[in-house]
Amino acid sequence: MVHALREACRVLKGDGLLIDLRPAPVHRHVGISENGTYVKVGVMREFLSDDRSANGAVAEMINSRRLRLKMRTRFECIRTMDQLSDFKARLDELVQLGKGSSHDWLLRRMKETLASRASDQRSRRRKIIMRGPMDLRVLIKTE
């Protein structure tokens, strides 16, 4: 990661901006949004070690005075899925990328929650929601 940051600094003009935008190292909440209401179904258990390593790499670049932190902010970001199969694909991707273990328990819980709500009311506006904060860091090249 430090090597990637050094490469980025190499191609940046003097005083150029390096922007690091990525999901904050916290576990995402998963739920269902329907007719303006949100029902939480569970909290994911992703592996966060890569994110912490990335934070360490950025800190190392700041400490070595190659980059200076100009600003940082955190904001909400959601991902929406129409179908249970879309949700399953995201969970499978997490395992494939080595960013989490199996979330079959969460898939099962989502399936049950969807089934229980379907008996009450059917809505085409229902979405599966994955939500969590994003971190945005803006750094200035200093060398």
Of the two residues 87 and 119, which places its CB atom closer to other proteins in the complex?
Answer: 87
Q: Given the complex with other proteins, which of 64 and 83 has the nearer CB atom?
A: 83
| List of residues contacting other proteins (CB under 8 A) | 1, 3-5, 7-8, 10-14, 16-23, 54, 57-58, 71, 73, 75-83, 86, 89-90, 134, 136, 138
Minimum CB–partner distance for residue 38 and other proteins (Å): 13
d(CA 143, CA 131): 38
The residue (of 24 and 119) whose beta carbon lies closer to other proteins is 24
Question: Which CB, 5 or 30, lies closer to other proteins?
Answer: 5
In DSSP terms, which residues pair with 98 in a beta bridge?
none
Instruction: Look up residue 46 and give its DSSP letter.
Output: B
Q: b/e per residue, 33-69, with b = 16+ CB within 10 A?
A: bbeeeeeebbebebebeebeebbebbeebeeeebbee
* Minimum gap (Å) between residue 67 Cβ and other proteins: 11
List C-alpha distances in Å: 52 to 1, 25, 94: 11, 7, 17
User: In angstroms, what is the minimal distance from the CB of 82 to other proteins?
Assistant: 5
Residue 37 parent element (H or E): strand 37-43
Question: For residue 132, what is the enclosing H or E element?
Answer: strand 127-141
In the complex, the smallest distance separating the C-beta of residue 6 from other proteins, rounded to whole angstroms, is 9
Which of 85, 119 has the CB closer to other proteins? 85
Least distance from C-beta 47 to other proteins, angstroms?
16
